[in-house]
Amino acid sequence: MVIHMKKTNMKGMKKLSITVTAVVAAAVMALAGCGSGSGSGSSSSDASDSGAKTTKFVLGGLWPETGSLAYLAPPELAAEKLAVKDINDAGGVLDSKVTTVDADTSDADHADQNTSAAQSVLSKNPSFIIGPASSSVVKNTYKSITSQNIPMLSMGATSAGFSGLSDYFFRTVAPDTVQGAVMGNLIAQDGVQKLAIAVFNDEYGTGLRDTVVKTASAAGVDIVYGEKDTFDPTETNFSSIATAIKASNPDATLVIAFDQTKPLLKALASAGVDTKKLYFVDGNTSDYSSELDAGLLEGSKGTIPGVNPSDDFVKRLESTGVDLKNTTTYGAETYDGIILAALAAQKGGSADGKTIQANMAAVSGADSGEKCDSYKACLALLKDGKDIQYQGQTGIGPFNKNNDPSSANIGVYTFDKDNKPVFDHTQSGDVPTD
């Protein structure tokens, strides 16, 4: 995962232009696999056969409010508030107001909190759960959620192993295989011949690393460090790693980590590694203006799955009163995930989990339908008995058979003299289902 900076500080932010091939998963951070069916045809019947029809839509939220991914919580929480407001202002779901129940999952280093947060939300009988953003946290929680026939959608879990994870697991972000392919091609196109990789031992980290290695190696790049080397996510002293990277004499270095990145960058600089020839991923493409000496990262590049939010959407997120802390990462993906679930309940005529699961693909456009770009507009079409294709903030394609977006975007950013990532260009690519 990674962070989108507010457009007031940068022109825009997000992804690359290269054909991408495989698919992904969240997040940073969690993993597993096995996919979802798409149709809306069975949804209503499933709900009525079970006798579970309900008009009360309870939205559960699992957020990284503490821990190494806490920087992602503000835009996600703002997106939740904005989505619920837009839904309720339009009349709610099945003429009832949406209510929410939230919990802090922290990060994968706090597995007990991952599970207790999930149980806390589940105890409130949610119709649908948005989050977690981390692949590793998803791995620790998805079984307890999906086993109760409650659909969940991750806005940031990019683990490639999550494609087809469960019929009840969805995501609005592309798998790491897509970002990894884009990054590998970017490195090769930049003329890098010898690449070092500093990566933490996490499913997100190693999975993304492996795709980059495969793509870059196929393009003739020599991996001089890090093809098998990793560091512990709890590591705080990176001097030996930085020394080893310097000794490998790379043309450039790829850093795959979360907030371990800050001390690692300082160690790399101290060891004499060229910090103007670094590559970052969504977990660490961030604003380092207050932590690093000016110009330290100038010219380095990063990739982020998803869209670069529009100025208007960022302003709407800010209007919720949540301090975004100059980050908009996964705000659009969170917002669209909630809107899609609400539309699925509306289409199926019930706010129970089975109905929502069975209609998610349909309202995303898997069965075609009339395009609409807001909950209010889509709701009006549904009430007229029409099929819809929600065109939201993310620009993703309809859910495929694995409950991944069928097409997705990867943004490429370049760091300026203030160590801030500035949007350069974006790439849309199809997400394979094999």
The answer, yes or no, to whether residue 32 has pLDDT greater than 70, is: no
d(CA 179, CA 303): 7
The answer, yes or no, to whether residue 143 has pLDDT greater than 80, is: yes
For residues 1-9, average pLDDT? 41
176: enclosing H helix or E strand: helix 176-189
d(CA 399, CA 379): 19
Q: Select from 267, 266, 311, 318 the least CA-distant residue to 293.
A: 266
The answer, yes or no, to whether residue 136 has pLDDT greater than 80, is: yes
The answer, yes or no, to whether residue 147 has pLDDT greater than 50, is: yes
d(CA 198, CA 205): 10
Contacts of 261 (CB under 8 A, 6+ apart): 255, 280, 283, 284, 286
Beta pairing class for 99-104 and 128-130: unpaired
- Pick the more confident residue, 426 or 300: 300
- Pick the more confident residue, 31 or 393: 393
* Alpha helices in 65-130, H assignment, sequence order: 73-89, 111-122
Helix axes 43-50, 353-364, angle to 10 degrees: 170
Q: Return the number of other C-beta atoms located less than 10 Å from residue 380's C-beta.
A: 15
Split at pLDDT 50, 70, 90, the class of 52 is low
- Pick the more confident residue, 379 or 71: 379
Contact 249, 214 (CB under 8 A): no
Report helix, strand or coil for 227.
Answer: coil
Tens of pLDDT, residues 75-106 = 999 999 999 999 999 999 999 999 999 999 99
Give burial (CB, 10 Å; 0-12/13-18/19+) of 31: buried
Contacts of 358 (CB under 8 A, 6+ apart): 37, 39, 40, 41, 42, 43, 44, 46, 47, 344, 348
Model-level pTM greater than 0.85?
no
pLDDT value for 409:
85
The size of the chain, in residues, is 434
pLDDT over 70 for what percent of the chain?
87
Q: Select from 410, 412, 415, 407 the least CA-distant residue to 391.
A: 407
Ranges of each domain in the chain: 58-174+309-403, 177-305+410-430
The two tokens of residue 33 are: 């696999």
The two tokens of residue 79 are: 């997106």
The two tokens of residue 428 are: 């849309």
pLDDT over 90 for what percent of the chain?
75
- For the segment(s) 58-174+309-403, the CATH number from 3.40.190.80, 3.20.20.370, 3.40.50.2300, 3.40.640.10 is 3.40.50.2300
Tens of pLDDT, residues 347-357 = 999 999 999 99
d(CA 338, CA 315): 19
The answer, yes or no, to whether residue 201 has pLDDT greater than 90, is: yes
Angle at 321 between CA 315 and CA 325, to 5 degrees: 75
CATH topology of domain 177-305+410-430: Rossmann fold (3.40.50)
For residues 44-58, average pLDDT? 61
User: Which of 6-15, 64-73, 88-97 ranks highest by mean pLDDT?
Assistant: 88-97
d(CA 43, CA 27): 29
Give the bridge partners for 63, in sequence order.
Answer: 104
Split at pLDDT 50, 70, 90, the class of 26 is very low
Q: Return the number of other C-beta atoms located less than 10 Å from residue 190's C-beta.
A: 13
pLDDT value for 99:
98
Give burial (CB, 10 Å; 0-12/13-18/19+) of 299: middle
Contacts of 317 (CB under 8 A, 6+ apart): 75, 78, 79, 82, 309, 324, 328, 331
The two tokens of residue 18 are: 């290269």
One fold for 58-174+309-403 and 177-305+410-430: yes
The answer, yes or no, to whether residue 70 has pLDDT greater than 60, is: yes
pLDDT value for 43:
36
Q: In b/e form, how buried is each residue of 244-261, taking b as 16+ CB within 10 angstroms?
A: ebbebebbbbbbbbbbbb
pLDDT value for 307:
75
pLDDT value for 9:
38
Q: In b/e form, how buried is each residue of 45-65, taking b as 16+ CB within 10 angstroms?
A: ebbbeeeebbebbbbbbbbbb
Mean pLDDT for the chain overall:
88
